[in-house]
Amino acid sequence: MAGELYRKPIMFAIVATVVILIGTIVTMFYPMFTEGMHPKLENLRPYTALQLAGKDIYMREGCNNCHTQTVRPLKTEVMRYGEYSKAGEFAYDRPFLWGSKRTGPDLARIGGKYPDAWHYQHFENPQAFFAQSNMPKYGWLKDRKLDPADSESHMKVNGFPYTAEDIGGLAAKSELDALVAYMQVIGTAVAKKAAPVAAAAAEERNPLEGDEKAHERGEVVYKQHCDACHGDDGKGGIGPSLTDTTWLNKEGDIGDGRIYEIIANGTPNGMPPYANQLDKDKIWSLVSYIRHEQHKNK
């Protein structure tokens, strides 16, 4: 039988094609329609009307041409951006915005990293935060109102649940409001891991105390990482003033080690941890700079 088939090339080609198609359907196409191939994380929720409108603006303005939204399971990427991406967090992304080009940083874990005010001011003037940034200014979005009917049509296409109240509420929102709302939800389906405990936080005193140049080195670090939120000379802005004696909304000064720990591990109200970006000497020099500014303002 097999010998007869080999002597009939046309029949052989037909049989081979059928066998390959059956294997392809069984191993590739059928699994695509099974539940296991479309996982959803427990914390994942469909986009709200405002968030979806922001996602549309994000795509319209080409943000995905410069920013990726996926963290690969590599140690260097996880250290820089956070927990690596999971398939189940993209179930409602149509289309997904993983991207492949990082002219700007990855945004897969940007949601909740900064307060809303940070994003509003950053979109207004990215260079005020990062002097070398080539990101365009998007402050003009605050003058453009959302179109509820347009957003409703997009929600219907995506099959998202919505109410007339949800759609009606968009009329009072700007495109910048929507973009910020979208930024704040990106990656939030994956629970954030606790910040690393800074080993140096156990030290009660700053080891750079007495180094007359420490605060000058700290000022350089401050201008690179901190002044966009805490203002010139630490007098406050998006973040609180660093020149008084109120820390984490509690009156009363704290030790150098505690300040180190806050810088290294971040805070629950929006300040990101810097332990993976700054070494111990730079953090301690920041502490020196903060103390120097405190003394100046007494």
What is the tally of structural domains in the chain? 2
Element (H, E) at 292: helix 280-296
Q: Is the pLDDT at 244 greater than 90, yes or no?
A: no
* pLDDT value of residue 1: 55
- Mean pLDDT within 109-122: 91
Percent of the chain scoring above 90 in pLDDT = 32
The torsion angles phi and psi of 154, rounded to 5 degrees, stand at: -70, -35
Average pLDDT over residues 267-284: 84
* Shared domain check, 65 and 160: yes
Residues 159 and 55 occupy one common structural domain: yes
Contacts of residue 120, Cβ cutoff 8 Å, sequence gap at least 6: 142, 176, 180
Identify the pLDDT of residue 251.
Answer: 85
Q: What is the CATH number of the domain that holds 286?
A: 1.10.760.10
Whether pLDDT at 200 is above 60:
no
pLDDT at 271 over 70: yes
**Which DSSP symbol is given to 47?**
P
Q: Distances in Å between the alpha carbon of 209 and those of 138, 185, 201, 215?
A: 43, 42, 15, 10
Check whether 211 has a pLDDT greater than 60: yes
Instruction: Decide which of 183, 215, 235 is a domain's last residue.
Output: 183
- Is residue 198 pLDDT above 60, yes or no? no
pLDDT over 60 (residue 197): no
159 within some domain: yes
Q: What is the pLDDT of residue 37?
A: 62
149 against 123, higher pLDDT: 123
pLDDT in tens, 79-97: 888 889 998 899 889 889 9
Residue 196 has pLDDT above 70, yes or no: no
Shared domain check, 57 and 102 = yes
Q: Are 174 and 57 within one domain?
A: yes
Q: Are residues 232 and 153 in the same domain?
A: no
